[in-house]
Structure 1
Amino acid sequence: MSTYPPTQCGLATFTASLRRHLTAVTPGSGSRVVRVLAHTDADTAATPAVHPMRPGAVEAAADVLNRCDVAVVQHEYGIYAGQDGAEALSVLVRLRVPVIVVLHTVLTSPSPGQRQVLEAVVDHAGAVVTMSEAARSRLLAGYAVERPGKVVVIPHGAVPSARSAPGTPGGRPLILTWGLLGRGKGVEWGIAALGALRDLRPRYLVAGQTHPKVLAHEGEAYRTHLRDRAAAGGVANLVEFDPAYLETDALANLVGRADVVLLPYDSSEQVTSGVLVEALAARKPVVATRFPHAVELLADGAGLLVPHRDPSAIAAALRRVLTEPGLAAAMRDRSADLGPALSWPAVANRYRRLAGDLVADELLTGRAVVTT
């Protein structure tokens, strides 16, 4: 149960990839999807859907999930209806099969309602998956979790990438930021850093369409703001925008051509970043602000960490990656060490084993329990 294509968001893309690879590593298996409709979706779907305006949707969703051996429920604030997404609980309380809940956000300082809903969601799960150790630690330290052993870490998956040579010999270095665009991505800080890099003549490519929810509320105001910032800073000739939604092959080709991936995110809360995992799987050097997932994955040398909202630090880190002999190659080697565990087949196998443990325990005891 999750948002799902044709909805264009990171959660929908994650779920589609997990579903595809999970069935691929489990011969003879099948799957069903209960699609959570975003506010920007039409009120129709090819798959069963949870929708706050459709009577009987919760019961229908539970019925579909109860016809499976295991239900996998993606949790993110903002996708479910009700106060703080409480409608997810309306489905969970009706499930009679083991449940794996995947947490995409764990807040440090939730509102009372957010805390109550997340604790209830966790309580209804046989197993809870976080995608970083930072998220697991935050959950166990800040929330009431009756059985900490049921919280396991399985990384965000990535498409295994063929090795590719970055850039073009003698050409302009390509700095890449990609993903659905919206305030909080911190792209303005990347643009502000370019003034100190003029001698390198970089191309800073910001790829990805505006997030559908952002587009519905404010149109292209943020992208216009970024263009204005580039012009005001005298670096408009160094910044390019590709507003297309990139499919898997096109995105892989683009990432393969990048010399360095820049993640200048504003948030210090982010415990999961699919873009970061994809960059590492593609063996790309990364410069990122110190959000928790980046601190965890880049600490051993796959990238450089910089303070939030600090163009000078971003510029210095990018210059190091682009000019310091051997640094980019060392980062690529470290990413290669991380890559196998981040590949979708490896990630799907871990979900398969987790689901198998839940089903086996259910058969033995009538209660789904997982321990680490």
Structure 2
Amino acid sequence: MTKAYALLSTYPPTQCGLATFSAALFANLGGPGDHVGVVRVLDEPVPGEPLPGRAPEVVHDLVNGSAQSAAAAVDVMNGFDVAIVQHEYGIYGGPDGQDVVPLLYALRVPSIVVLHTVLARPTTRQRAILDAIIDAASAVVTMTRTARTRLLDIYGTSPEKVCVIPHGSADNRVAVAPREAGHPPMALTWGLLGPGKGIEHAIAAVALLRDRGRRVAYTIAGQTHPRVRARDGEAYRSLLAALASALGVADLVRFDPRFLPAGALGGLIGAADVVLLPYDSLEQVTSGVLIEAVTAGKPVISTAFPHAVEMLAGGAGLLVGRQDPAAIASALDRMFTEPGLSARMSSHAADLAPQLLWPAVALSYRDLAAAVARSYDGAVA
């Protein structure tokens, strides 16, 4: 049975979705006697490390652009039973992160590559990179059936090589205290902030509702994405704040600019009446925020990006058109006025939750790791 797992990914204190995902997978993957090590992906070395305070699970840093670091990363991962590699365009070195490809081919242990993005319309280079990643991997994981179908239909991947394991979630199911009289219902959007989140359309929807005599408080939680901040500073957040003021809803729109730890995030989700995902993207096949919202039993209003269409089809949420404030406003109005709608959505979400919690998701990874290890040993023999 597989007992040693190497995780290759960005990792805290890096603040991004993959780092958060990998930290949760690390925390839940190993059993008694197992060894889980993290090979952390960095854009540049951390000055002064290794330090006594560095997380003990980090066994090596893969510094992008360093051939020596990549060769050492391969040697380290070859000391484990299975390598579990997180893939997203841009986190590895080279154009579109192409430097991960030779690393995967150099591994002498079976590898599971977790695909956080599967583009329906990749560029020529993006297509070539993903084709090579799939070829080098022992197995690939998508987090939705939509992404798996794209791999089969667009990339021609063998069905036997693709496994669907949902994005995991912390258990944020909490009893919600009754809202105090006079306090408006609260909609919540959270996650790393940047253009493409569609939050400007949600603010416009809050203004439309205010014009109809309905007050909805809207909390926007999360810091600006580090790469967006490095390029543009806080321009997007400033634009959103200016829009709220111009539309006369600055008193209803609240910004919480922190990168929230799990406990604080759980409390914020618990206080929300509805989670609002107004994303612009038509490509997004994986959303950790969507999974966290559904697992917490919260009704969701979302634009019809692929993961939302798949996850909410059973009744856990409402879908709206992208960049459509009027549709968002109508959905919010319906949420707060239609008898029983919110409770029905929460019930559907509760039915989905057990399979999405991290312990169940990690068990699926352990089972897959054992299967690829057996197949790999048989092929080598």
Give the TM interval when normalised to the shorter protein: over 0.9
User: What is aligned with 1:152?
Assistant: 163
Give the share of equivalent positions with the same residue, in percent.
54
2:5 alignment counterpart: none
Taking a change above 3 Å as real, the CA distance of residues 40 and 63 of structure 1, as seen in their structure-2 partners, is closer
C-alpha change, 1:10 and 1:51, in structure 2 (3 Å) is: same
**What letter is aligned with 1:76?**
E
Letter in 2 for 1:35: R
* 1:9 equivalent in alignment to 2:16: yes
Unaligned runs of 5+ in 1: 368-372
1:193 aligns with 2:205: yes
Amino acid at match of 2:134: V
Match of 2:299 in 1: 285
Match of 2:114 among 81, 94, 102: 102
1:335–1:42: structure 2 CA closer, same or farther, 3 Å change rule?
Answer: farther
Q: 3-state DSSP class of the match of 1:160?
A: coil
What residue in structure 2 maps to residue 235 of structure 1? 249
For 2:92 and 2:155, the matched residues in 1 are separated by 20
Q: How much does 1:62 deviate?
A: 0.4
Which residue is equivalent to 2:3? Answer: none
1:19 aligns with 2:30: no
Distance change >3 Å, CA 43–CA 154, structure 1 → 2: farther
Q: 1:264 to 1:29 in 2, by over 3 A?
A: same
Q: SS at the partner of 2:240?
A: helix
Distance 1:226 1:81, change over 3 A: same
- Cα deviation, 1:80-100, whole Å, max 9, x if unaligned, reads 111221110121111010100
**Alignment match, 1:115:** 127
Partner of 2:366: 352
* Structure 1 match to 2:71: 59
What amino acid does structure 1 have at the position aligned with 2:174? R
Deviation at 1:41, TM superposition (A): 6.8
CA contact (8 A) 1:259 1:322 kept: no
1:370 is matched with which residue?
Answer: none
Q: What is the distance in 2 between the residues matched to 1:182 and 1:43?
A: 31
Select between 32-41 and 352-361 the one with higher mean Cα deviation: 32-41
The alignment of Structure 1 onto Structure 2 pairs a total of residues equal to 364
TM-score (norm 1): 0.95
**Which of 348, 351, 375 is 1:337 aligned to?**
351
Counterpart in the other structure of 1:216: 230
Q: AA paired with 2:373?
A: V
What SS does the aligned partner of 1:313 have?
Answer: helix
The farther-off stretch of 51-60 and 10-19 is: 51-60
- Structure 2 residue matching 1:93: 3-state secondary structure: helix
Instruction: Output the aligned Cα RMSD.
Output: 1.6
Match of 2:184 among 172, 188, 195: 172
Question: Which consecutive residues of structure 2, in runs of 5 or more, have no partner in the other structure?
Answer: 1-7
